[in-house]
Structure 1
């Protein structure tokens, strides 16, 4: 799933490619992906791209006052094409194409979604705040307004909620997903199940520093990369996420996994849980 660093890099890459260029048309292939109807997609035809930004994990292409907003969900991605194909293929089936944005010289970008579970969402709005997911976003962790005091308030308000869930909840902190929450907690040497309000002042500062540090480093590594390179860059720099069974790069212990119904988390027992393995959450308890 693209998270804050990848969406930030996508925005930077597309900003350089699209700014001050006209949108010729938007071909919608997966009609269920479009979540708005007014303004219609056809309103983007002939508009001039002014900027490409992000809101949390939402990508926002601003064109002549309209906003083409996309949430790539779990399996969505954006692929740049120097020359778009003449056809989009048939909707449904094995066709991963959800939409195609064509610009003035017949270059453009394909918005795709792999797999059968379709969660990608596309919006055309006059104000990004009209997108429900954007309107409810928490603070951006790389914004200057995200201070240690803001994190302290979040941790207190979330009481006994587990840190992993607090970091991932978009209405609490914007842009952090499953992968980077694992990475942040590993860097901070904290259990994913540690209660939010149980952190000492020193631990709160450590968590704050790692949120900013892990995400900031990922953004720096991704800066200047094309969209086609971002997935590989992310995967090659993850310390624990997606690496169950491998050796922890910090201490050498075996990275463990906890499975849920539709996701999983990875962690290092030595670095994060005092050497104790966490029980599979299907057992709903910690091993003592």
Structure 2
């Protein structure tokens, strides 16, 4: 799933390529991906791209008075094409939308898999998108101090893993980086968020800042096509089940929940305890 660092880099890379160029065609290939009808999608044609921005994990292309907002969900991506090949089928394959610029270049917005959660909006203001209107404080906003983080955690009942990925509380963190943050903070994914001590909250805040800002810096300037493999290369625990922990050498373990899985280090995070890996089991804390 693209998270804040990748979305930030996508925004910068797409702005560099598209700013000042005129949109000559927009082709919808997945009807379910478009979540708005006014303004019409075709209203973008003829407008000049001003640039791209980020709101949490949402991408926002400004073109005149209109915004094309994209949420890539779990399996979406945006691919830059120097020469855009118009897809013939509207029913098959991962392509959701094409946007063509003068000269024949443009972007493919794609989604792999069967979940079909990718969402595209055409709006007059980014805040017209319900998901953006509900966003909490951005994870890299200076307003998210350790004290403010503690206040937010006190407002949520639930396990740290779930609370960190709650976009209405803290915007920008998803499944992968929440694993990385909790590992860096030496906290169990299943600790109750409202039960952290002041010292644990300080550790969590420091990990939030260092992991996310570090990932943003690493992604800066990386080619769009290389962003996903570059992200995987630098993850310490997420997606590394069975590998040795880079800090202590213990074996990285996995817990599966529903359609997702996440990873942790028993020595670093749970006092050596291995958490039950059964989808319907009661998770240890």
Interval of TM-score (by shorter of Structure 1 and Structure 2): over 0.9
| SS state at 1:49 partner | coil
Q: Give the aligned partner of residue 237 of structure 2.
A: 240
C-alpha distance in structure 1 between counterparts of 2:263 and 2:33, whole Å = 31
TM-score after normalising by structure 1: 0.96
Q: CA RMSD in A?
A: 1.2
Residues 113-124 of structure 1 mapped to structure 2, 5 A cutoff? 113-124=111-122
Task: Please report how far the alpha carbon of residue 243 of structure 1 lies from its aligned counterpart in structure 2 after TM superposition.
Answer: 0.7
Q: Give the aligned partner of residue 36 of structure 2.
A: 36
Q: Give the aligned partner of residue 26 of structure 1.
A: 26
C-alpha distance in structure 1 between counterparts of 2:281 and 2:149, whole Å = 27
Does 1:13 pair with 2:10? Answer: no
| SS state at 2:43 partner | helix
Q: Deviations over 1:113-154 (max 9, x none)?
A: 111221110000001111111111111011122222221111
| SS state at 1:180 partner | helix
Q: Give the aligned partner of residue 88 of structure 1.
A: 87
Q: Deviations over 1:83-139 (max 9, x none)?
A: 111x2120223x111111111221101101111221110000001111111111111
Q: Give the aligned partner of residue 152 of structure 2.
A: 154
Residue pair 2:28, 2:97 contacting (<8 A) in 1 also: yes
Q: Which runs of 5+ in 1 are unaligned?
A: none
| SS state at 1:207 partner | helix
> Which segments of structure 1 move beyond 6 Å, counting only runs of 4 or more?
none
Q: Give the aligned partner of residue 216 of structure 2.
A: 219
Task: Please report how far the alpha carbon of residue 267 of structure 1 lies from its aligned counterpart in structure 2 after TM superposition.
Answer: 0.1
Task: Please report how far the alpha carbon of residue 286 of structure 1 lies from its aligned counterpart in structure 2 after TM superposition.
Answer: 4.2
Does 1:125 pair with 2:123? Answer: yes
Residues 1-288 of structure 1 mapped to structure 2, 5 A cutoff? 1-85=1-85, 87-93=86-92, 95-159=93-157, 161-280=158-277, 282-286=279-283
C-alpha distance in structure 1 between counterparts of 2:193 and 2:31, whole Å = 40
For these two proteins, the number of residue pairs brought into alignment is 285
C-alpha distance in structure 1 between counterparts of 2:83 and 2:138, whole Å = 35
- Give the direction of change, closer, same or farther, for the CA distance of 1:287–1:65 in structure 2 (3 Å limit): closer
Deviates more, 1:195-204 or 1:226-235: 195-204
